[in-house]
Amino acid sequence: MSDITIYHNPACGTSRNVLGLIRNSGEEPTVIEYLKTPPDRATLQGLIAAMGVPVRDVLRIKGTPYEELGLGDPRWSDDALIDFMLAHPILINRPIVVTPLGTRLCRPSEAVLEILPNAQQGAFAKEDGEPVVDAEGRRV
């Protein structure tokens, strides 16, 4: 079993790119499709704490019910925002990656390189063709 976990949405290009970068480092991560298997409250709170970011930084706006739920309103407490994310997992921004070197919301996808224990093993380009890593495994 891998020491790397990705909270993944296969419909998301950034999430697919991050998964590709993890695999390009020679690791096969534990993949949690969080829309099918949402984290529980303790797990979500633990991920947010490990990232060291405000709860609001983990909220996804695009393609979610963020606007209709009025989540931009500052009156919502962190606990309330977590309640919304648990009720509507699409509100959890992705991908979140956990490795022995840290936990991070990997947007842009290259952010995952900072927490992967192993170097890239070859060239890697994003789905749109943008090169990320050269043939020697160095960041472009």
Cα separation values, 9 from 92, 93, 101, 123, 133, Å: 10, 10, 22, 23, 23
Residue 132 lies in a domain: no
Amino acid at 80: A
Q: Is the pLDDT of residue 2 over 90?
A: no
Question: What tokens were used for 12?
Answer: 């998301």
Domain containing residue 25:
5-120
Residue 137 lies in a domain: no
- Mark whether 106 is an active-site residue: no
Q: For the chain, what is the domain count?
A: 1
pLDDT band at 1 (very low <50, low <70, confident <90, very high): low
Backbone torsions φ then ψ of 78, nearest 5 degrees:
-60, -45
Residue 140 lies in a domain: no
Residue 138 lies in a domain: no
Residue range 110-120: mean pLDDT, rounded: 96
Catalytic position from the list 4, 6, 12, 59: 12
When the pLDDT of each residue in the chain is averaged and rounded to a whole number, the result is 96
Q: What percent of the chain has pLDDT over 90?
A: 96
Torsion of CA 53, 7, 18, 55, to 10 degrees: -20
pLDDT digits 0-9 by tens, 64-101: 999 999 999 999 999 999 999 999 999 999 999 999 99
Residue 106 lies in a domain: yes
Residue 127 lies in a domain: no
The pLDDT score that the predictor gives to residue 60 is 97
Residue range 13-33: mean pLDDT, rounded: 97
**Is it true that the peptide bond before 65 is cis, omega within 30 degrees of 0?**
no
Q: What is the CATH number of the domain that holds 96?
A: 3.40.30.10
Question: What tokens were used for 124?
Answer: 């890697």
